[in-house]
Amino acid sequence: MPTAIITGSSEGLGKAVVLKLLTAGWHVHGFSRQPSEIAHPHFVDHRVDVTQVSSVQNAVAVATANNQGIDLLINNAGAASMNALLLTPSKVAENLMQVNYLGAFHCIQAVGKQMVRQRRGLIINITTVAVPLALEGEAAYVASKAALDALTQVAGKELSSQGVTVVGLGFGPVPTKLTQAVDGNKLQHLNERIGRPNGTSLQEAADFILEAIQQANPVPGSIRYLAQIQSR
Amino acid sequence: MMTRPQSLALVLKRLRALGQELDRPSLLTADEQTRLFGDGAALDSMGLVTLISDLEEDIYRECGARVALADEKAMSRLTSPFRRVNLLADYIIEVVNAG
Q: How many CB pairs under 8 A join A and B?
A: 16
In a domain, A145, yes or no: yes
In a domain, A97, yes or no: yes
Gap from A141 CA to chain B (nearest CA, Å) = 29
Give the number of other CB atoms < 10 A from CB of residue A174.
21
Q: Give the CATH number of the domain where residue B47 resides.
A: 1.10.1200
Domain count along chain A: 1
| pLDDT < 70: residue spans in chain A | none
Domain count along chain B: 1
Q: What is the per-residue pLDDT across A145-200, written as a single tens digit (0 to 9) for each?
A: 999 999 999 999 999 999 999 999 999 999 887 777 778 888 999 999 999 999 99
pLDDT of residue B42: 82
Give the number of other CB atoms < 10 A from CB of residue A189.
10
pLDDT of residue B75: 77
Classified as helix, coil or strand, B73 is helix
- Enclosing domain of residue B27: 4-98
- Enclosing domain of residue A180: 3-225
In a domain, A231, yes or no: no
Q: Do B53 and A113 touch (CB under 8 A)?
A: yes
Q: Do B49 and A161 touch (CB under 8 A)?
A: no
C-alpha distance from residue A17 to each of A5, A32, A206 (Å): 11, 14, 5
Closest partner residue to A117 (CB to CB) among B46, B57, B66 is B57
Dihedral class, residue A174 (left if φ above 0, else alpha if ψ from -120 to 50, else beta)? beta
pLDDT of residue A157: 96
In a domain, A230, yes or no: no
| pLDDT < 70: residue spans in chain B | none
| E strand intervals along chain A | 3-7, 27-32, 43-47, 72-75, 121-128, 164-171, 223-225
Q: Which residues of A touch B66 (CB under 8 A)?
A: 57, 61
pLDDT of residue A102: 98
pLDDT of residue A119: 92
Q: Give the CATH number of the domain where residue A150 resides.
A: 3.40.50.720
Beta bridge partners of A165: A122
- Residue A222's closest CA among A161, A160, A156, A178? A156
Residue type, A132: P
Tell me whether B46 touches chain A (CB under 8 Å). Answer: yes
Q: Do B56 and A113 touch (CB under 8 A)?
A: yes
In a domain, A232, yes or no: no
pLDDT of residue B72: 77
Tell me whether B49 touches chain A (CB under 8 Å). Answer: yes
